[in-house]
Amino acid sequence: MNWKIPMFKIYWDDEDVRAVNKVVKSGMQWAEGLSIKEFENKISGYIGVKYCIVFNSGTSAMHALLLAYGIGKGDEVIVPSFTFISTANAVLFVGAKPVFADIEEETFGLDPEDVKKKITRKTKAIIPIHYGGCPCRIRELKKIAQEHNLILIEDAAESFGANIKGKKVGTFGDSAMISFCQNKIIATGEGGAIVTNSRQICEKLKLIRSHGRLETEDYFTTMKPLDYVSLGYNFRMPSVIAALGISQLEKVENIIEMRRKNSEYLNTSLSQETGRIMTPNPPDEYFHVYQLYTIKVNKKYRNKLMQHLASKGIMTKVYFQPAHLSYFYKNKLKYKCRLPVTEKVSKEVITLPMYPMLKSEEMDYMVKEIKKVLR
């Protein structure tokens, strides 16, 4: 459908085009080029960690990270059901069992109290997500992980640049995953990364992403034989993608500021609908980057509102349908979970279009059509 206002638009400029063209025109090193290491260094510097390893997707990055931590058969990993399916599926990739815990309604992140209830002797890790650009209750979850000697992995796919009191998302856990998919804060089409302060995990990840090959030399330019010391995958990020990521990262503060400004405009415009709409309201000292702009409405109006907006050319979406209610988990894997908040919230949320170039006239149009239905 040709939407008047789509869910997202990618923010790009001529610098992005020049960065990609430079790699293409080099005629060399479209894989494992210098831009890979530069992108990794810039990400680690921005987040505030020692190491960054980039991958061809966020899902590949999470898969590799679970392997690096030795998580496998017989292990349990606590995850939210209110997330993109790959958060849970990555646990299955390594032969472990995802255990779904409920969320809380302020940040839509894992509820620390329910996480405590789901811990067993088989629990190896906790993977909370930072929903839509808002940090979850990561400090409480970190305390729980430390008390139970569990690995804490942040799924920060949607929250690049978000922080709590200046401490960036991705620095609270043992490691974190970031995504650069096309609708994220900085976008490269596809792509992902792991950030960590563990040198050991970093070295394991390098082996996993490139067939278990020791990176002592550049495979494509050396005549020296290189050794393979473990089983690995082809999870490498192309150099063209890394070059685009470097260019995008140069603009990240501006991108975040535009998203926050647009979200503030929508919050103000929808403020008259108190009681009918709940707009994003992060806790004090939480810096929300608004990768998603998600509101809540009474479930009896939700679908009607979405249909009306669609008829006016405004795209909306439900992020997320609960993973534990998907056909795969419910019917194939026979999951039976009691997650009342997850199921309630998933019937009330609507994600509205949000991107840096969203115009005030477009937001006014959205608000006008929303009010028509709710009044």
- Residue 180 located in a structural domain: yes
Rounded distance, CA 214 to CA 354, Å?
42
Examine the domain organization and report whether 227 and 306 are in the same domain. Answer: no
Count of CB atoms within 10 A of residue 340's CB? 9
- Residue 364 located in a structural domain: yes
Question: What CATH number does residue 299 fall under?
Answer: 3.90.1150.10
pLDDT at 342: 98
Examine the domain organization and report whether 54 and 89 are in the same domain. Answer: yes
Examine the domain organization and report whether 39 and 20 are in the same domain. Answer: yes
Number of domains in the chain: 2
Rounded distance, CA 91 to CA 71, Å?
8
- Residue 24 located in a structural domain: yes
Contacts of 337-344 with CB under 8 Å at 24 or more apart are 337/81, 337/100, 339/81, 339/100, 339/101, 339/102, 339/103, 340/102, 341/102, 341/103, 341/104, 341/105, 341/111, 342/80, 342/81, 342/82, 342/100, 342/102, 342/103, 344/299
Low-confidence ranges of the chain (pLDDT < 50): none
- Residue 3 located in a structural domain: no
Examine the domain organization and report whether 275 and 312 are in the same domain. Answer: yes
Examine the domain organization and report whether 257 and 347 are in the same domain. Answer: yes
Rounded distance, CA 354 to CA 194, Å?
26
Examine the domain organization and report whether 39 and 186 are in the same domain. Answer: yes
pLDDT at 32: 87
Domain boundary among 188, 219, 249: 249
pLDDT at 307: 97
pLDDT at 69: 98
Examine the domain organization and report whether 153 and 273 are in the same domain. Answer: no
- Residue 8 located in a structural domain: no
Examine the domain organization and report whether 83 and 53 are in the same domain. Answer: yes
Examine the domain organization and report whether 54 and 155 are in the same domain. Answer: yes
Question: What CATH number does residue 107 fall under?
Answer: 3.40.640.10
Q: Name the burial class of residue 91, with classes exposed (0-12), middle (13-18) and buried (19+) by CB atoms within 10 angstroms of its CB.
A: buried
- Residue 2 located in a structural domain: no
pLDDT at 278: 94
Examine the domain organization and report whether 265 and 211 are in the same domain. Answer: no
Cα torsion angle, 26, 9, 187, 12, sign: positive
- Residue 5 located in a structural domain: no
Q: Which domain holds residue 62?
A: 14-249
Domain boundary among 216, 249, 282: 249
Rounded distance, CA 166 to CA 135, Å?
12
Examine the domain organization and report whether 321 and 192 are in the same domain. Answer: no
Examine the domain organization and report whether 225 and 104 are in the same domain. Answer: yes
* CB of 180 closer than 8 Å to CB of 240: no
pLDDT at 153: 99
